Structure 1
Amino acid sequence: MLIVDTVAGLLGAVLLLRFWMQAIRVRPPSSVAQFTFQLSDWLVRPLRRVVPGVGGFDWASLIGAFLIVFLATSVLFFVGAAWQTVLLAALYRFLQWILYGFMAMLVIEAIFSWVNPHAPLAPFIRALNEPLLRPLRKVVPLVGNLDLSLLVALILLQIAQLVLGMLFGR
C-alpha cells in the first residue's frame, strides 16, 4: 500500500503543480516544465478532450489529480466499502494534498530565503507562493526586517487542516 500511496502522491503533486502554475500563469523553468509535462501528459491530454479548459484554468489537470487520489483511495480501501465512503475519503485526501502542497511550497521558499535566495528555482517558488502571501502581506506588518507572512500562512494552512479533519470526522 505504501507504493500505491507514494506513486499516487507524486502523480497527484505533479498534476496539482501543473494546475497551479497554469492557474496563476507562472512560467516554470524548463527543467521543471519538462518533468511536470512528461510525467502528466499521459493523463492530461486525453482528459482535455473530455474536459476543456474554462476560464483560464486547466481543469483536466485538477480532475486528473482527483482521479489519481480516487483510484489510490479505492485500492487502499480495496473492497467492501461503499462507493460513497471511498468518494468522501478521496475528497478528504485530495483536499489534504492541496493543503500539504501549499505548505511544502512555503517551507521550500523559507529554506531558499535562508540558504540561497538567489538559487535558480527561488524566483519560481516565490511566484508560486505570491498569490497566497500577497493578501497576508497587506495585513501582517514587517517585524524588524522580517516578513512573517510566510509563518502566518503556514499557521492558517494548519488551521485549515484541522477544520478539514473536523468536517470529515478525522
Structure 2
Amino acid sequence: MIYLMQALAFLLDVAFGIYIFMLMLRILLQWAHVDFNHPMTQFLYLVTNPVVNPLRPYIPRWRALDTPALFVMLLLQMLKGLLLALLLGYDLSLLGLLVLSVAELLSLFIYVLIFSLIIEMVLSFISHDPYNPLGTFVYRLNAPLLRPVRQRLPVMHGFDFSGLVVIILLQLALILIVAPITDIGKGL
C-alpha cells in the first residue's frame, strides 16, 4: 500500500510540476522579452492561455508581471501540496501550505535559471548558431541576469565567467532565502 501511495504521489508531482513549469517559463519569457513569434513561446502560450486568460478581467497585470499566470501557478502549487499532504498523511495548516508553496515556486524559479545558464554555457562551447531556436531562447532568457554581471566582470583571456558568478549567487539565494522560508512553512 505504501508503494502505491508513493507512486500516486510521484504521478501527482509530475503532472502538476510540468504545468507549473510551463507557467513559470511563460512568466520568465515575458520578463526577458523573448520574441512572441518564437516557436517555444507560442507553444507555452497555447498550453497556458486556456487557464490564464479567463482570469485576466479579474486579476490585472502589474507592470511587466503576468499576475494571472503567477496566481494560477501559486494555486496549482498549493493544490499539489494539499493533495500530496492528504495522500501521504501529512498535517498542514493553510498558512503553512501557502508559505511552502511560495518557497517551492522560488526554488523552481532559481533552478530554472541555473539550468538555463548551464545550457547557455554548454551551447557557447559547442556551437554559436544564431538560428538555433534553443540557443536564442536561452540567450534571451539569461540576458537580464547576465547583463549586470558582465558590466562589472570583464572577459578574462577569452572566457566569460559571468554565468558562473550568477550560478553561485543563485545557489546562495537558495541557501539564504528559500531554505529559511521552507523552514518557516514547515513550522506553521
Q: Same fold (TM over 0.5)?
A: yes
Larger gyration radius, structure 1 or structure 2 = 2
- The answer to whether the 8 Å contact 2:155/2:161 transfers is yes
The correspondence for 1:128, drawn from 133, 137, 141, is 141
Equivalent residue in structure 2 for 1:160, among 173, 177, 187: 173
Q: 2:40 aligns with which of 19, 23, 32?
A: 32
1:69 maps to which of 77, 87, 91: 77
Tell whether 2:113 aligns with 1:102: yes
2:16 counterpart letter in structure 1: A
Instruction: Tell me the alpha carbon deviations over residues 13-65 of structure 1, each in whole angstroms, 9 at most, x when there is no partner.
Output: 11111112222322155421232012211211112121122323221112221
Alignment RMSD, CA only? Answer: 1.7
User: Which one of 122, 125, 132 corresponds to residue 111 of structure 1?
Assistant: 122
TM-score (norm: length of structure 2): 0.83
Q: Any idea what the Cα deviations from partners look like across 1:109-141, whole Å, max 9, x if unmatched?
A: 112112222133212211110000001112222
| Structure 1 residue identity aligned to 2:60 | P
- 1:89 corresponding residue in structure 2: 100
Deviations 1:59-94 (A, max 9, x none): 111222111211111111126321112111111111
- Tell me whether 1:7 sits opposite 2:7 in the alignment: no
Q: Which moved more, 1:84-93 or 1:50-59?
A: 50-59
- Give 5+ residue unaligned stretches, structure 2: 1-8
Determine whether 1:146 maps to 2:149.
no
Secondary structure of the 1:50 match is coil
- Cα distance in 2, alignment partners of residues 120 and 101 from structure 1: 18
Q: Count how many residue pairs are aligned between Structure 1 and Structure 2.
A: 170
C-alpha separation in 1, matches of 2:143 and 2:119: 13
TM-score with structure 1 setting the length: 0.91
Higher mean displacement: 85-94 or 17-26:
17-26
CA distance in 1, matches of 2:18, 2:119: 17
Q: 2: CA distance between counterparts of 1:68 and 1:144?
A: 46
Q: What percentage of residue pairs aligned between the two structures are identical?
A: 28
